[in-house]
Amino acid sequence: MTGAALAPPAASVRLRLLAVVLALGLAMAAVAGQLLRLGVSGGASGRVASLETVVRTFARPDIVDRRGRILATDVAANSLYADPAVVLDRDEVAEKLSRVLPGLEATELRALLADRNRRFVWIRRGLSPREAQRVHDLGLPGLSFRREPKRVYPVGALVGHIVGQVNPDNRGIAGLERHIDETAGLEAVSGASPPLSGPIRLALDLGAQHAVADELRLAMQRYSATGASAVVMDARTGEIVAAASLPQIDPNVAGAHLDPARPDRLQSGVYELGSILKALTVAMSLEDGLATLDKTYDVTKPLTFGRHQIRDLHPPGRPLTVRDIFLQSSNVGAAMLGLEAGTSRQLVFFARMGLLEPIRTELGPVAPPLLPERWDGIETATISYGHGLALAPLQFAAAAAILVNGGRRVAPTYLRRDGEPGQGEVVLKPETSAAIRELMRLNVTMAHGTGRRAEVAGYRVGGKTGTAEMPGVGGYREKSVISSFVGAFPMDEPRYLVLVSLFEPQSGEGTSGGITAGLNAAPVTGAIVTRIAPVLGILPRGIPVAP
Amino acid sequence: MGRMFAVAAGLAAVGAAAAVYAVKQETRRVESEVHALERAIERAESDIAGLKAERYWLGRPERIDQLSREQGLGPIHPTQYVRPPPAAKQSPSARGVGQ
């Protein structure tokens, strides 16, 4: 037995051993091969994985106008970064890159690449395809591209103040872009993936927006104005269908919203708006039963408050009815109405019209109204004709909408509202609103109305002019004014409210040397209505049409 | 008998390994196909986004305005409206449909 156990293994056993050895050898070779493959090709994916924790960008929803036309969208763009540990010659990289990427400082780049402990350094975000190709052609080791979303604004400056801007990470920092971040939220993405959420639909109509901006641009040239603004608001819902403030900002230019020379005058500044506030004063008197349109006031003499006098630009020389106070824009008459009502009644009425509390829109808080430190006597009188109370034009437009829409409060919004209009709180009697509509229409149709240059055949425009001297050192500047026109159309059932303001206009074509609103802001409003009414689907009435 | 069973088990193990390997290879192939498709979709989406932006850039109102004025066109005037012909005002009656 022992001899048999120590005998050399039989051939079959050797064969089996050989098979086992071969199998093990093959298995080891497979493992070695796999390791080799991973060693050769697996490095890049490992680096990308580590990159994901460092870099986060955000996909944003499109912003579209009320008809679905794109105002802001994401496109994929290449962003350039470097791995300083892999860069061989940082001087060469800095020098060559600064040559193909304008604005890139070679010294700064050299300093960035000096720290070899860092594995990731952004060099330039959102390159154009041509710039990316130029960098690629340099063939420099240590540089890589990353595809990420880049915000673009196809219509540019036309909607610059409204859409706002984003930072290089595609996060909103101004305007509606910031509102989207604060309300809708964003999706963090690792590449240039499109957003999953649907577009943000604005109330804005791009065609109307262009017409408004174009007419303001022409007006600035014609009257050598330093600025201009206009808002067109649905008087029933508060939807803003056009809003422009010139000079505009181009959201495609980084940091444009910070330019102090290009403020959004509609929302971020407060101004004394002058006689357009007389519409509120007359409405207050009618609403509280203090006056009727036919009640007469003796406006022949200036009103005196100590050393201050309130007088009319063109004294009428006869008593005026409330109707004529409005149509002739009498400061003395408006002051008398205000004084008759008294300070407390005026405060209550202005508060009801939403003029004393700060408001906000999707673009952020509207500049709060600047109230007089002391509101009594002379302030009550001057505020009645639009001096002494500074308002953001948008806040005044919301109050003016109440005057013409039957008395319902509206909240201005840049977003499209679905549903039935007219849900706001009623703060004014419908009869008062009807009377103001009548006065506004008369002011445009009557031969001596200050707003007659706003008339557009067929569209039944109505409105009120206002020319306010701008404050300066030691008092008001007579030659620097803000000319405004607040109008609505069609006046028999107003759908849209228009507020146009020209800042520091000079005399121009057809003004006979004058700078009052009836000579400049009123015709600009007429020109705007002519262009936007067809765009907004308002049909002309009462003029011959082709059969 | 035991040897036969061992051989059969060995063959079965080899067969199973080969099947697993084949499935794995197929999975990898499908995975790479999926990745390729995903990349293609991403490229297509990126192209669509770019083209959309370009379309609205080309159709921006100030450009259309300028082009149309060069063609002698301008904003519509209130007198340019026409009344629709009487036939267009009437909705087709149910009886008339299909006749």
Residues A167 and A294 in one domain: no
> Are A294 and A346 members of one domain?
yes
* 8 Å CB contact of A73 and B78: no
Give A10 to chain B, closest Cα distance, Å.
Answer: 17
Q: Is the peptide bond before B78 cis (omega within 30 degrees of 0)?
A: no
Of B65, B75, B81, the CB nearest to A530: B75
Q: Is the pLDDT of residue B85 over 80?
A: no
Query: Quick check: is A227 in a domain?
Result: yes
The verdict on A214 and A299 lying in the same domain is yes
Q: CA dist B45 to A37, A154, A229, Å? A: 33, 18, 38
Within a domain: B66: yes
Please tell me which of the candidates A147, A531, A545 has its beta carbon nearest to residue B83.
A545
pLDDT computed for residue A545 by the predictor: 58
Residue A76 sits at the chain B interface (C-beta within 8 Å): yes
Residues A168, A301: one domain? no
The reported pLDDT for the residue numbered A422 is 62
Tell me: the pLDDT tens digits for A400-446?
999 999 999 999 999 998 766 667 889 999 999 999 999 999 999 99
| Chain A touched by B31 (CB under 8 Å) | no
Q: In this structure, how many other beta carbons lie within 10 angstroms of the beta carbon of residue A138?
A: 13
Chain A contact set for B52 (CB, 8 A):
70, 73
Structurally, how many domains does chain B consist of? 1
Q: What's the confidence (pLDDT) of residue A207?
A: 95
CB distance from A74 to chain B under 8 Å? Answer: yes
Same domain (yes/no): A174, A266: no
DSSP A370: B
Q: Is there a single domain that holds both residue A177 and residue A284?
A: no
Check whether residue A375 and residue A230 sit in a common domain. yes
Q: What are the Cα distances from residue A220, in Å, to A206, A226, B62?
A: 21, 7, 17
Residues A193 and A330 in one domain: no
Low-confidence ranges of chain A (pLDDT < 50): 1-5, 43-50, 52-53
CATH number at residue A310: 3.40.710.10
A194 and A212 in a common domain: no
Give the chain B residue whose CA is nearest to the CA of A154.
Answer: B57
Complex prediction ipTM = 0.75
Q: Which residue of A has its CA nearest to B55?
A: A154
Task: State mean pLDDT over B61-71.
Answer: 93
Q: What range defines the domain where residue B30 resides?
A: 2-73
Q: Which domain holds residue A74?
A: 55-85+154-201
Domain contains A39:
no
Check if A63 contacts B (Cβ < 8 Å).
no
A146: part of which helix (H) or strand (E)? strand A143-152
Instruction: Check whether residue A383 and residue A361 sit in a common domain.
Output: yes
Residue B89 in this model has a pLDDT that exceeds 50 = yes
Which residues on adjacent β-strands are paired with residue A308?
A305
pLDDT for the residue A396? 97
Domain co-membership, A181 together with A269: no
Instruction: Determine, yes or no, domain membership for B89.
Output: no
Quote the CA–CA distance of A255 and A261 in Å, as a whole number. Answer: 13
CB contacts of A490 in chain B (<8 Å) are none
pLDDT at A37: 80
Based on the fold, state whether residues A162 and A272 are members of the same structural domain: no
Report yes or no: A154 at the B interface, CB cutoff 8 Å: yes
**Statement: residue B63 has pLDDT above 60:** yes
Side chain identity, residue A7: A
Domain holding A66: CATH number? 3.90.1310.10
Residues of A annotated catalytic, as ranges = 275
Q: Is residue B61 part of a domain?
A: yes
Domain count, chain A: 2
Compute the count of residue pairs across chains A and B with CB atoms less than 8 Å apart: 78
